[in-house]
């Protein structure tokens, strides 16, 4: 499937929430899935973690480039030097622009969608926000 880096990162975040949920007990309650569904979730998580690592590496390299190797954006302060404040604000704006471009990049991922039926939504209270972030990982066709 072809998706943006941002969608892949959201998908990873959502997949990380598919193991269990808090049900008022001290220990989390496991969601009820078949073994094949748990395997698909684990495989997708592993592949998406690799994308997250690549994204982090690219983001860190971009930050090093913009900061002449320091890796830290200077804080925006209301110091006495307006020219320095303007330079720092410009640096932050450039970083934000490049990060958005990085997140909008299209990537091809080899993750097999899982049928919505296999999530047993009648038995598993998976929040709608998690289902939404799963995006194309859920195949809504039954």
Q: Does the pLDDT at position 79 exceed 80?
A: no
Q: How many residues does the chain have?
A: 142
pTM > 0.95: yes or no: no
Q: Which residue has the higher pLDDT, 24 or 33?
A: 33
CB atoms within 10 A of CB 98: 16
Q: Which of these, 64, 68, 70, 48, lies nearest to 4 by C-alpha position?
A: 48
Separation between Cα atoms, residue 117 and residue 138, nearest integer Å: 9
Per-residue pLDDT band for 25 (boundaries 50, 70, 90) equals confident
The Cα 110–Cα 16 span in angstroms is 18
pLDDT in tens, 33-75: 999 999 999 999 999 999 999 999 999 999 999 998 999 998 8
If phi > 0 it is left, if psi is from -120 to 50 it is alpha, else beta; for residue 120 that is left
- Domain-by-domain residue ranges, the chain? 2-139
Q: What backbone phi and psi angles, to 5 degrees, belong to 18? A: -95, 5
pLDDT tens sequence across 80-138: 788 888 989 999 999 999 999 999 999 999 999 999 999 999 999 999 999 999 999 99
133/76: higher pLDDT: 133
């Amino acid at each position: 499937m072809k998706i943006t880096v941002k969608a892949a990162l959201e998908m990873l975040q959502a997949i990380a929430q598919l193991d269990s949920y808090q049900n008022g007990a001290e220990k989390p309650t496991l969601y009820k899935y078949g073994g094949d569904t748990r395997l698909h979730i684990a495989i997708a998580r592993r592949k998406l973690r690799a994308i997250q690592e690549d994204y982090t590496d690219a983001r860190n390299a971009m930050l090093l480039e913009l900061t002449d190797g320091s890796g830290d954006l200077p804080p925006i302060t209301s110091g006495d030097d307006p020219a320095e404040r303007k330079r720092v604000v410009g640096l932050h704006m450039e970083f934000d622009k490049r990060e958005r471009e990085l997140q909008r990049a299209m990537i091809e991922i080899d993750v097999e969608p899982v049928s919505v039926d296999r999530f047993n939504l009648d038995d598993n209270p998976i929040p709608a926000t998690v289902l939404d972030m799963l995006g194309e990982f859920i195949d809504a066709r039954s």
